[in-house]
């Protein structure tokens, strides 16, 4: 087996050889602990038949571990300076492909169709760039890709919000958006010392396994998400006040919201953070006829 990329000594040697300087604006914090990398990959439950999509391979630390444990890895990397480095570090792994694109602009579905023909089990596994964690996760879920799920490193604070339950301070529209599509859990907490350079915030790995069907059935998905966002606009306000100030203008808006809350059997004095996803679905369906 080839020497691991992710030891502190080898990582430094690679960076020095290419004179690579980290770009903070691209969220470049590379992992230098093979043990952590292997544990991340463990959480993805890959087999030799699986495909892995990585976002931001950096110098290939995680890519290498994925290549050893799956059939094929396709990695999106925005930073062109990393391409010659990856060409060298990943040369022992012919089952890897790098796509030099911003993942937020990329057609991931098309890349899956092109790169993973004959592969049924596909997981996204990544140490995400922290400046765009939420947009990346939401894009991967909203694009309805044929993936089993996502295992990724991100800021612990965002992991807490994603896996939060109703009634807790971290519960909000992000928890609902992600839990609508997936079963979410925080898989591990990761110390800053395993990165170079060390990030300013604590990190965690989350595991999101896609549901067969969304957690709740709603008349309109965009409206459901609009209602959840509106309900958390100001956390200290009641549902009635948030919805009244956030939903689009209309005659008798307040009366309509009160009547929808009544129909959904939800007390208008409650706050958004106390509602379960089922209750939000009921509320959104009751409001929908007035605002569609
Ligand atoms: N996977 C490597 C590791 O664990 O050591 C690097 C992870 S580093 C946290 C994030 C990586 O994402 C960097 O290589 C960065 O250049 C890349 N990146 C940042 N923004 C990106 C984007 N919008 N699309 C694709 N890659 C991006």
Indicate the average pLDDT of the chain: 97
Residue 287 has pLDDT above 90, yes or no: yes
What does the pLDDT read at residue 1?
A: 74
Is the Cβ atom of 36 under 6 angstroms away from ligand 1?
A: no
Q: Kindly list the strands in the beta sheet with 51-55, ordered across the sheet, starting from the edge strand earlier in the chain.
A: 96-99, 72-76, 51-55, 122-127, 149-155, 203-210, 182-190
pTM confidence score: 0.96
Closest ligand 1 atom number to CA of residue 58: 14
Going by C-beta distance under 8 Å and a sequence separation of 6 or more, which residues neighbour residue 48?
A: 69, 70, 71
158-187: per-residue pLDDT in tens? 999 999 999 999 999 999 999 999 999 999
Is the Cβ atom of 57 under 6 angstroms away from ligand 1?
A: yes
For residue 118, report the distance from its CA to the centre of ligand 1, in Å: 27
Is the Cβ atom of 28 under 6 angstroms away from ligand 1?
A: yes
Residue 123 has pLDDT above 80, yes or no: yes
- Closest Cα to atom 5, ligand 1: which residue? 30
What does the pLDDT read at residue 129?
A: 98
For residue 126, report the distance from its CA to the centre of ligand 1, in Å: 8
For residue 20, report the distance from its CA to the centre of ligand 1, in Å: 14
- Which band of pLDDT confidence, cut at 50, 70 and 90, is reported for residue 133? very high
Average pLDDT over residues 175-204: 97
Domains in the chain, ordered, with CATH?
8-210 (3.40.50.150), 221-291 (1.10.8.100)
63-83: per-residue pLDDT in tens? 999 999 999 999 999 999 999
229-264: per-residue pLDDT in tens? 999 999 999 999 999 999 988 778 999 999 999 999
What does the pLDDT read at residue 215?
A: 97
DSSP-assigned letters across all residues of 118-169: T---EEEEEE--GGGHHHHHHHHHHTT-S-SEEEEEEEHHHHHHHTPPTTST
Is the Cβ atom of 41 under 6 angstroms away from ligand 1?
A: no
Closest ligand 1 atom number to CA of residue 79: 16
What does the pLDDT read at residue 34?
A: 97
Closest ligand 1 atom number to CA of residue 126: 1
Average pLDDT over residues 45-58: 98
The partner residues of 236 in beta bridges, in order of sequence, read: none
């Amino acid at each position: 087996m080839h020497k691991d990329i992710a030891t502190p000594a080898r990582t430094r040697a690679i960076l020095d050889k290419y004179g690579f300087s980290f770009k903070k604006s691209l969220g470049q914090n590379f992992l230098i602990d093979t043990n952590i990398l292997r544990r991340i990959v463990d959480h993805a439950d890959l087999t030799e038949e699986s495909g892995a999509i990585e976002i931001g391979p950096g110098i290939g630390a995680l890519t290498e571990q994925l290549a050893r444990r799956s059939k094929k890895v396709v990695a999106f990397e925005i930073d062109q300076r990393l391409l010659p480095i990856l060409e060298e570090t990943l040369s022992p792994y012919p089952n890897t492909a790098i796509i030099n694109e911003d993942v937020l602009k990329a057609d991931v579905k098309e890349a899956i169709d092109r790169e993973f023909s004959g592969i049924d089990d596909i997981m996204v596994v990544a140490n995400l760039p922290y400046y765009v964690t939420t947009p990346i996760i939401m894009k991967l879920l909203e694009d309805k890709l044929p993936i089993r799920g996502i295992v990724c490193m991100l800021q612990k604070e965002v992991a807490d919000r994603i896996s939060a339950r109703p009634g807790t301070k971290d519960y909000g529209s992000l928890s609902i958006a992600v839990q609508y599509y997936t079963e979410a859990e925080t898989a591990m907490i990761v110390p800053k010392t395993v990165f170079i350079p060390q990030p300013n915030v604590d990190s965690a790995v989350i595991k999101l396994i896609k549901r067969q069907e969304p957690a709740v059935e709603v008349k309109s998905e965009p409206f459901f998400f609009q209602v959840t966002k509106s309900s958390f606009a100001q956390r200290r306000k009641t549902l009635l006040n948030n919805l009244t100030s956030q939903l689009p203008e209309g005659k008798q808006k307040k009366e309509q919201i009160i009547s929808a809350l009544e129909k959904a059997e939800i007390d208008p004095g409650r706050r958004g953070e106390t509602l379960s996803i089922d209750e939000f679905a009921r509320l959104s369906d009751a409001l929908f006829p007035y605002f569609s």
